Chain A
């Protein structure tokens, strides 16, 4: 099982560190990261393996959303199934 974390917002020091920190804390293994900074806009998409999660997936979603609120960023944490079913036949 994998999940997609997207982070969009104003660039700042330590965004990747904080997001991956939550992943490590929750036992989500980072598989792939794509990141770009256009002018001062930060956009990151992270694919993580959530098979060995230490808690509930919803707990991780809450933590990411709270982090997003703290940093003034939009952070979405979604199960990969939604993208697969929407965009693949």
Chain B
């Protein structure tokens, strides 16, 4: 039954603690749009997306009104475009990116993800052409996101792809240097990419998914921090319990919104991504949760332990609240999108190495990290390889989204605005890994026994 305390608690969470649904993402399969004529394929892609998603934004707005909960983004994820590009050898895959952009404009969505290739074991037809076209595709479009999966626990790490992605990340930043290198903020390199992720930049619609479905990504770091702040003297296991209860409530909201969207759109409900996704807004920071637990500043010693507990408790609380959980599920730590992380990085307390350790215990990986513009492509590749190794060995998704700040050095800042925030240029090691990266080949898949 309804009671006054619960009603006011919900309203307070939304109004004062930045609780929101981060995204409703419609996954759309484009496998039926494959055509050897790229122009025909692009037309089919546009038509299919518009047919499936024309009501996505109005339905999102209707649900916002119905439940009084903000839904920040409405997004679309599509089949990795490399699979469509494979049928059109010799053509420039950027045509697909432009078709996706047209569809995004028509539907009014914030992002379309899926300008992607899965090359964890090797390149098939279309993959390399698509990867090489990413810098141009992200420079000539506004709302398209790209991702490349270069490794997995079962297949190891494709080091040829790692090498190539170092160059592509750098080139993508260069091509958008006049817009604070925004292109690189829309490109993510994965190990163990998931097929039902509603979050950008890494969303794509996996081939095992149905023709069309709805995913929901929740948010709410501010709510968790506010809940913890009421218990300054609680022990860690008591804190874990509070986080679980809060995550349950947040996730129930996601489940409700997802089920309603699925009903209104007549599309099956996919998953709720149990995420704590920060925004640069004050009071919406994952770093501030860790500081609430007792760290003077995020990034100091103890950060990894706090984050491990937070991440696990979020999942435990969220799993029971939703009928189907999936996606990336966990706490995100994108540096430029989190006010507390930005402060810690500016203060020099949060380093790339600490972030790397943190990614071993939480969702995703080195995310939205600004690095000096003169970084060597091989160094980017080496950072990708390190991060992919963590994912491969620990059977988890890891990702790298680095933004080389072209023309800028340590101490300067890139400003992306909106959800992407702003990030200080963080220092990197000055010794080269070029010889290692240039060897090419594959890191074999790891052992699944003798775990230590």
Query: A: which residues have CB within 8 A of B?
Result: 4, 6, 34, 45, 47, 57-58, 61-62, 74, 76-87, 89
The answer to whether A87 and B6 have CB atoms under 8 Å apart is: yes
A57 to B4, CA, bound (A): 22
A4 to B252, CA, bound (A): 18
The answer to whether A85 and B7 have CB atoms under 8 Å apart is: no
A18 to B7, CA, bound (A): 22
Of A62, A78, A81, A86, chain B has the most CB atoms within 10 Å of the CB of A86
The answer to whether A86 and B62 have CB atoms under 8 Å apart is: no
Query: 6 interchain pairs (CB within 8 A)?
Result: A61-B68, A76-B68, A79-B66, A82-B67, A86-B6, A86-B252
Which residue of chain B lies nearest to A80 when distances are taken between CB atoms in the complex?
Answer: B2
Taking a contact as CB atoms closer than 8 A, the residue among A62, A76, A84 that contacts B2 in the complex is A84
A61 to B100, CA, bound (A): 34
In the complex, what's the smallest C-beta–C-beta distance from A44 to chain B, in angstroms? 10
- Chain A residues near B2 (CB-CB < 8 A): 4, 47, 80, 83-84
A83 to B7, CA, bound (A): 6
Taking a contact as CB atoms closer than 8 A, the residue among B15, B68, B320 that contacts A77 in the complex is B68
Q: How many A-B residue pairs have CB under 8 A?
A: 58
The answer to whether B65 and A58 have CB atoms under 8 Å apart is: yes
Q: Could you tell me the dominant secondary structure of chain B's interface residues?
A: helix
Taking a contact as CB atoms closer than 8 A, the residue among B4, B15, B69, B320 that contacts A82 in the complex is B69
Taking a contact as CB atoms closer than 8 A, the residue among B10, B65, B253, B320 that contacts A61 in the complex is B65
The answer to whether A45 and B7 have CB atoms under 8 Å apart is: yes
In the complex, what's the smallest C-beta–C-beta distance from B325 to chain A, in angstroms? 16
- Chain A residues near B10 (CB-CB < 8 A): 78, 82-83, 86-87
- Chain A residues near B67 (CB-CB < 8 A): 78-79, 81-82
Other than the known A57-B66, A82-B68, what 18 A-B pairs have Cβ atoms closer than 8 Å?
Answer: A4-B2, A6-B7, A6-B11, A61-B66, A74-B15, A76-B11, A77-B68, A78-B67, A78-B68, A79-B68, A82-B10, A82-B253, A83-B6, A85-B256, A86-B10, A86-B253, A87-B6, A87-B249
In the complex, what's the smallest C-beta–C-beta distance from A43 to chain B, in angstroms? 8
Which residue of chain B lies nearest to A61 when distances are taken between CB atoms in the complex?
Answer: B65
In the complex, what's the smallest C-beta–C-beta distance from A69 to chain B, in angstroms? 15
Interface membership of B255, Cβ < 8 A: yes
Interface membership of B447, Cβ < 8 A: no
Which residue of chain B lies nearest to A77 when distances are taken between CB atoms in the complex?
Answer: B68
Which residue of chain A lies nearest to B256 when distances are taken between CB atoms in the complex?
Answer: A85
